[in-house]
Amino acid sequence: MTWSTREIAEITGTSVKAVRYYHEIGLLPEPDRALNGYKKYEVHHLTRLLHIRRLTDLGVPLAQMDEVMRDRSHASIFRAVDAELARTVERLQAVRRELSALSLPGATPQVPTEFGAVAPRLRENDRAFLTICAQVYSEESMTAVRELLEAAPNDELDEAFRDLPEDADEERRHALAERIALVTGPGADGSVAWQSKAVTPRQADATRKVVGHAVAALFNRAQIDVLRRVQEINAAAGES
């Protein structure tokens, strides 16, 4: 008994297009043809195609399929596929955790998932800045930021910075910077060690530029000036 291309594709649960592609790359031998020109697939073609289908479902790359089916030493291939599958499972589990968190009341995709509890009281620029920081700073740094926000849900100092007008005078800027430095400086309870994810100097430089551009776009000139002053005060305190 023989089968046509359409029939063998149906039997093996694949497509006619896939069968033809396997012929094209030399993975499946071309069968003889009947007098009417149609291919005549036999049992050995069926077996070969079922093996290909099984290995494809297991994630074995087509480029390595022939090697595996020739019964050569292929344990390393299966180990590599298994390792990649483990990474895929881990990614999918992370996606499921995030989807579960986003399904909670008040959650929003506009901030990193772990900031869902504080998201409702954040302003648009705060959300945008957190999203950017989560991309370039370490998980430890972002955890510290989250804990700081959760510990002070109605912090007056935070509101003072957020509401600082662009035309705030020198005295107001200086006073606010000193107050912020007291709680963010070295050893302070509200301090955050900003650790970049960068592993090369080039990546570190890119991180600085990204954060710099974000600050310039999301905060007004008075707020940026206060942040600069806070850095200077904390740097001086760290040196003393």
List pLDDT tens digits, range 169-203.
999 999 999 988 887 766 665 567 789 999 999 99
Mean pLDDT of 31-37: 88
Q: Identify the burial level of 218 via C-beta atoms within 10 angstroms of its C-beta, where 0-12 means exposed, 13-18 middle and 19 or more buried.
A: middle
Given this model, what pLDDT does residue 132 score?
Answer: 95
pLDDT tens-place string over residues 57-80: 999 999 988 888 876 667 888 999
Statement: residue 120 has pLDDT above 70: yes
Given this model, what pLDDT does residue 41 score?
Answer: 95
Given this model, what pLDDT does residue 67 score?
Answer: 83
CB under 8 Å to 106, separation ≥6 — which residues? 116, 117, 119, 120
Mean pLDDT of 88-108: 87
- Contact present, 19 and 5 (Cβ < 8 Å): yes
Given this model, what pLDDT does residue 239 score?
Answer: 66
Given this model, what pLDDT does residue 109 score?
Answer: 87
Q: Three-state DSSP class for 109? A: coil
Question: How remote is the C-alpha of 164 from its chain's centroid?
Answer: 34
Q: Three-state DSSP class for 181? A: helix
What is the spatial distance between Cα 135 and Cα 138, in angstroms, rounded to a whole number?
8
DSSP 137: B
